[in-house]
Structure 1
């Protein structure tokens, strides 16, 4: 990414492939959960805004975060020699933050920042962290199969649930989503319908967007149409884990190749967050420990390509 970078040293047994990657049959379930804009902005200041720029900064757009559970059936790199090494399945559980790239007081671009990511295999973790800068951690999870009722989702991580000298790391459920009442479902004809339906549902929620309705439309338009614009914070610590030997803000689009189906749910769901000291989502994003009703539950099945990370700014 940097023009004066040293050539990356590849050694026998290296598990770091090269982008782009193609993803087939991604089955994504999404929900919007309420956080706190002030805490989200603090998180942005502690990550993205650590990369100093004379003109660029990043601003939280909403108190709501998007939570997604995505099962990707088949992934592999598309370039040589990596495309001939094999393929793998990956499941991602992500909390996305809607973020504006600011140029002074003007919005230059709107992104989705995958600020918290858990995955189910180490190959996805290593490549995601090393190449793109995704903040990935390993997890176990439950989610519906394609076509099944969206009854239950959860994520369990090996963690220190309560910080103390005597706490042993153990599996902890961080959060779950349960369907608590059955109502209707609506198959949508395309992304334009999802944007229209989503806009009608979210426009009356004052905390969803702090800007005008055009911003809300742009946020929804950036989902799957024609790509998910992802903003990334990539950094590596020194040997003391005190200073960063590299820090950068990057952009990597998930370019949609084909949408197999879109469904909007009108069932009632409950999102329940547990307190896990190692992953303090209330401190990070303002998502309160306990139960809330998420907004705009949806399901999208699609194929996409994950492109390389493009440098926006870096600390020299």
Structure 2
């Protein structure tokens, strides 16, 4: 018989906003990057499959990730009492890995759904950091984030955050540039040439371009489904997967709580979208953030395979515990 969960104690100064969350006037910039599939498999095995111990299995959809830069104009709880607390804005930058979630049946993996795993996430709002980590298990870190004024505006995407360049006793943690993204080619001229007047047609064109990029290299038989995974971020019911854990106070090598959480990010309204020029992505080398190694990127400076932008609203809904160490 399940034990009732204790009531959450609401304390002053803790701005942990209750889900579901409504996020409006979001402009999302997406940069698709080639990645090493074996590295992605190793990362997903470590973070998700090893803890779950067969209860669920996740497999990378293909040899690519997306660097997503999201400018969220308004985020607010959808339900009382937190809806009446007000709203906030935030910028976040994250690496998204599309995965198939399913079951291992003997030697055969049976995919059941598409999900996204975000191993690195940076935000400029401390309330969003705490809410994301404590409720869902987003590995959010606070940082100083700068975006261009809009999809056709000049400028760069920049993330400054606390890093440790080399793990050794004398090392000093410092706030420094970790991610830098700038155009690698001129923007379309006139700027309107980069816009989609019909989003369905635009998403279809995106799918065609992705197929040209990946199927031409004979990635794998599941390439079509993998491409669909990338497009899924713009459609209702996109599921995100998290490793939610807290370090134990008595034994620092253990977790006092550990679970695999999945939660739907439901797009409620699509506004506009379009192509962007390819961008050059630079990731600083730091032992604290082995992004290039974890994702199997070709190097600390790489060029995106393609780039798009979308404007939409979405809801971050309640999550589901897919597996937990507590049973």
TM value normalised by structure 1: 0.92
Structure 2: runs of 5 or more not aligned: none
Correspondence for 2:77: 77
Task: Report if aligned partners of 2:32, 2:65 keep a CA contact under 8 Å in 1.
Answer: yes
Distance 1:140 1:279, change over 3 A: same
Deviations 1:128-159 (A, max 9, x none): 00001101001112211235425311111111
1:34 aligns with 2:34: yes
CA contact (8 A) 1:273 1:288 kept: no
1:263 to 265, 274, 277: 274
* In 2: Cα distance, 1:160 partner to 1:119 partner: 18
8 Å CA contact retained: 1:161, 1:172: no
Question: 1:296: how far off?
Answer: 2.1
> What aligned pairs does 1:159-174 form with structure 2 within 5 A after superposition?
159-174=163-178
Q: 3-state SS of the aligned residue for 2:194?
A: strand
Is the Cα–Cα contact under 8 Å of residues 202 and 208 in structure 1 kept in the other structure?
no
Alignment-derived partner of residue 97 in structure 2: 97
Aligned equivalents of 1:200, 1:147: Cα separation in 2: 22
Tell me, yes or no, if structure 1 residue 226 matches structure 2 residue 225.
Answer: no
Matches within 5 A, 1:228-307: 228-239=238-249, 240-265=251-276, 267-307=277-317
Q: Secondary structure at the match of 1:222?
A: helix
1:201 aligns with 2:209: yes
1:223 is paired with a residue of what secondary structure?
A: helix
Deviation at 1:123, TM superposition (A): 0.6
* SS of equivalent to 2:52: coil
Relative to the length of structure 2, the TM-score reads 0.89
Query: Does the Cα contact within 8 Å between 1:30 and 1:298 map onto a contact in 2?
Result: yes
> Which whole-Å deviations, capped at 9, do the CAs of 1:215-241 have from their partners, x for residues lacking one?
134213412112432112211110132
Deviation per residue, 1:182-229 (Å, 9 max, x gap): 142432244432432222222233479544343134213412112432
Partner Cα distance (1:8, 1:242) in 2: 28
Tell me the number of residue pairs that the alignment of Structure 1 and Structure 2 aligns.
314
Question: Are residue 312 (structure 1) and residue 316 (structure 2) matched?
Answer: no
Q: Tell me the C-alpha RMSD between the 2 structures.
A: 2.1
For 1:303 and 1:126, the matched residues in 2 are separated by 22
